[in-house]
């Protein structure tokens, strides 16, 4: 890790409704140095909204001027790469490809998505279909990293354990595989049964053994409303859930995660995010330098 890399980059989920540069200005005002946003309405469909190139360029300048980490673009929840329905798979594939092409205007961005639900097709078939979709949306020379998110294991979700994510990675075209990484969600991983609260060192060792720590490119920093292994996926504010603030601070400061972006997805408005960011900064003795 380069000496000029910050111990961590911290931000939260922001709305894109006021444009790209607005998100950059708002996260700085909240005390952050990275952020996450939905590429479009997370629960809606339709086509991608055309961005104003000047607005995108302005965000790029803000990021460069303040030494920020490039943001995480989050795919909408409506995407299901392994749906039983061909039209849903096609919509997901085409939308993701378009969004990745747009992100070339913000080189170095991360693009996070939920692997999806196999809806009765079986895990093996779901994994095959997800990898096939990635082969179609990735291309040689692209400048973004696509991230598979760790999931809590609700219903027929794929990604409920590290082995399922590794199986997806192994099926991606070897020539494109370097463009794929993983985003670890602390709530999801705890709900999936990994001991985030009591043995996060062990969780990371297991991640490294199964997937490889070099594949971990971002963290969603969330407490959980439900106990370990519940498979529920309900986020809680930091320190108000079953993981607890002390354990989550151990996540932020873990040496194996140095320099990664941590994005809050806790149930907050922007004022609440500002308080959580301030709490983390104070407890880790690291400010917005």
* pLDDT tens, per residue, the chain with 289 residues: 344 579 999 999 999 999 999 999 999 999 999 999 998 866 655 565 678 999 999 999 999 999 999 999 999 999 999 999 999 999 999 999 999 999 999 999 999 999 999 998 899 999 999 999 999 999 999 999 999 999 999 999 999 999 999 999 999 999 999 999 999 999 999 999 999 999 999 999 999 999 999 999 999 999 999 999 999 999 999 999 999 999 999 999 999 999 999 999 999 999 999 999 999 999 987 654 4
pLDDT number for residue 40: 82
- Mention every residue, 6+ apart, whose C-beta is less than 8 A from residue 54: none
pLDDT number for residue 99: 95
Residue appearing with tokens 């407490």: 223
pLDDT number for residue 2: 42
pTM score: 0.94
Torsion (CA) 255, 256, 260, 263 in degrees, nearest 10 = -90
CA dist., res. 61 & res. 58, Å (int) = 5
CA dist., res. 165 & res. 73, Å (int) = 19
pLDDT number for residue 182: 98
Q: Write down the architecture of domain 9-284 according to CATH.
A: Alpha-Beta Barrel (3.20)
pLDDT number for residue 46: 59
Tokens of 123: 């895990």
pLDDT number for residue 34: 98
Q: Tell me the Ramachandran region of residue 132: left when phi exceeds 0, alpha when psi lies from -120 to 50, beta otherwise.
A: alpha
Rounded to the nearest angstrom, the gap between the alpha carbon of residue 208 and the centroid of all alpha carbons in its chain is 18
pLDDT number for residue 199: 98
pLDDT number for residue 289: 43
CA dist., res. 210 & res. 208, Å (int) = 6
pLDDT number for residue 47: 61
Burial of 151 (0-12, 13-18, 19+ CB in 10 A): buried
Burial of 87 (0-12, 13-18, 19+ CB in 10 A): exposed
Taking the CA atoms of 222, 223, 229 and 234 in sequence, report the sign of the dihedral they define. negative
pLDDT number for residue 3: 43
CA dist., res. 40 & res. 47, Å (int) = 9
CA dist., res. 284 & res. 280, Å (int) = 6
């Amino acid at each position: 890790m380069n000496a000029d890399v910050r111990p961590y980059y911290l931000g939260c989920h922001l709305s894109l409704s006021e444009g790209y540069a607005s998100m950059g200005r708002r996260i700085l005002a909240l005390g952050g140095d990275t952020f996450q946003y939905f590429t479009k309405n997370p629960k809606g469909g339709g086509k991608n909204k055309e961005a104003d190139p000047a607005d995108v360029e302005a965000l790029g300048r803000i990021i460069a001027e303040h030494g920020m980490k490039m943001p995480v673009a989050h795919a909408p929840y409506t995407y299901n790469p392994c749906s039983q329905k061909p039209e849903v798979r096609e919509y997901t594939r085409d939308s993701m490809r378009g969004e990745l092409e747009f992100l070339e205007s913000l080189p170095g961005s991360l693009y996070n998505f939920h692997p999806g639900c196999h809806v009765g097709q079986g895990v093996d078939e779901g994994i095959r279909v997800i990898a096939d979709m990635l082969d179609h949306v990735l291309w040689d020379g692209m400048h973004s990293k696509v991230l598979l998110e760790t999931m809590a294991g609700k219903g027929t979700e794929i990604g409920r354990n590290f082995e399922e994510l590794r199986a997806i990675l192994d099926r991606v075209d070897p020539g494109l595989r370097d463009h794929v990484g993983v985003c670890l969600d602390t709530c999801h991983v705890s709900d999936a049964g990994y001991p985030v609260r009591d043995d996060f060192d062990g969780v990371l060792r297991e991640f490294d053994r199964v997937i490889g720590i070099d594949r971990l490119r971002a963290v969603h920093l969330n407490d959980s409303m439900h106990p370990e292994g519940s498979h529920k996926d309900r986020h809680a504010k930091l320190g108000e859930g079953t993981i607890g603030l002390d354990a989550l601070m151990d996540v932020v400061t873990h040496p194996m995660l140095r320099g990664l972006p941590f994005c809050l997805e806790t149930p907050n408005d922007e004022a609440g995010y500002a308080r959580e960011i301030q709490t983390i900064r104070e407890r880790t003795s690291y400010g917005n330098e």
